[in-house]
Structures are given as C-alpha cells and as structure tokens.
Amino acid sequence: MNYPYWVAVFLLMLGLYVMVAQRNLLKKLVGMNIFQTAIILFFLLLSVKRHATLPIVPGTVGDVRGFMNPLPHALMLTAIVVMVATTGVALAILIRLHTAYGSLEERVIAERLSAPPGPAAGPEAGR
C-alpha cells in the first residue's frame, strides 16, 4: 500500500491551497513551510527500503539492499537549509511591508498601494 505517498500529496495540496487562497501574508508563509516539508517527505519516502538500516556503512558493505539510499538524504539536507533561508528573507520582507502599509492583509496592502499618494511623508515616516 502506498499510503505514505497519499499523506505527502495531501500535505502538498494543503500547503498549496493555503499559499494561493489565504489573504493573510503570514498564513501564506505557514502554507509555504508546510509545502516545503511535504516535498521533502515525498522525496525521502522514495529512499526507503524495507528492512534496511541507516546509510552508515560499518566496514565492508555486504549487500546494498540492507542500507538506505543516501542520495536523497543529501539533496534534502540542502532543501531544509534553503527552507530556513527563504523563511528568513520572507519574514524580513513582511516586516517591511507592515512598517510601510500598517497591515499584513493582502487586500489592505493592495488598496493602500494603489491609493493616490497623500500629502504626508512616504512609507519611511513610521520609522
């Protein structure tokens, strides 16, 4: 039964739906995080072998079918680090947006973006 793949696909679609349909920017980030970890789960599920142990080779390897596939692990380590990098930059952009427009709601920011510039100072007045 391939039910772990179904769980990974469900989490992927949940993250994608949140990224597209949520109005709050921070909730979109939560959805992006769920999406990224679900992709990593899907990839790691491809590296599992039944009755296999960790990919740490003690001395001589008898049968490679007794060890997990190490290549997806290495690629997914990269993916996790990129995950924290994108989350950090996205949060920095969110904070700047909030400072400039006063809200994290997509609709409010869009309205204030397209509003004609007022007589007051620009976005940097709040700092």
Nearer of residues 116 and 127 to another protein, judged by Cβ: 127
* Sign of the dihedral defined by the CA atoms of residues 33, 39, 41, 47, in that order: negative
Q: Nearest-CA neighbor of 87 among 28, 44, 40, 46?
A: 28
Nearer of residues 69 and 119 to another protein, judged by Cβ: 69
DSSP bridge pairs for 105 = 24
CB of 60 closer than 8 Å to CB of 37:
no
To the nearest whole angstrom, how small is the minimum distance from the Cβ of residue 121 to another protein? Answer: 14
Nearer of residues 105 and 114 to another protein, judged by Cβ: 105
Nearer of residues 101 and 120 to another protein, judged by Cβ: 101
To the nearest whole angstrom, how small is the minimum distance from the Cβ of residue 14 to another protein? Answer: 6
CA distances from 80 to 13, 47, 54, 87, 122 (A): 19, 17, 19, 11, 38
To the nearest whole angstrom, how small is the minimum distance from the Cβ of residue 120 to another protein? Answer: 18
To the nearest whole angstrom, how small is the minimum distance from the Cβ of residue 18 to another protein? Answer: 5
